């Protein structure tokens, strides 16, 4: 028997499918509002990994097709940083 692990939709911000569904049920919101409330799509990848999944949760839960008239600004970081620098080690 497998343990039930939460399905993570946004890896950067560790937002689960259950988090998204609970938020949509508690607050009838748009896709943009859902992202702002849960931080899904606001991590270091800028939503490139989870944007489609978050939009599909909105569509399946509320029936509304997400509109991107006011985009959240998906863009890469200003400058790439190496893992060595992030870890505090000097090269």
> What's residue 76's pLDDT?
58
> What's residue 38's pLDDT?
92
pTM reported for the whole predicted model = 0.65
Q: Is CATH 1.10.10.1100 what the domain over 8-86 is classified as, yes or no? A: yes
Instruction: Report CA-CA distances (Å) from 12 to 31, 39, 70.
Output: 18, 9, 22
> What's residue 45's pLDDT?
81
> What's residue 70's pLDDT?
53
68 pLDDT tier (thresholds 50, 70, 90): low
> What's residue 56's pLDDT?
85
Comparing 78 with 25, the larger pLDDT belongs to 25
pLDDT of residue 37 exceeding 80, the answer is yes
């Amino acid at each position: 028997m497998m343990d039930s692990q939460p399905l993570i939709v946004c890896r950067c911000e560790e937002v689960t499918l259950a988090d998204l569904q609970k938020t949509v049920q508690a607050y009838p919101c748009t896709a943009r509002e859902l992202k702002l409330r849960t931080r899904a799509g606001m991590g270091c990848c800028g939503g490139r990994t989870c944007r489609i999944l978050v939009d599909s949760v909105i569509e399946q839960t509320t029936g509304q097709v997400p509109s991107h008239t006011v985009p959240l600004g998906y863009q890469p970081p200003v400058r790439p940083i190496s893992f060595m620098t992030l870890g505090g080690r000097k090269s």
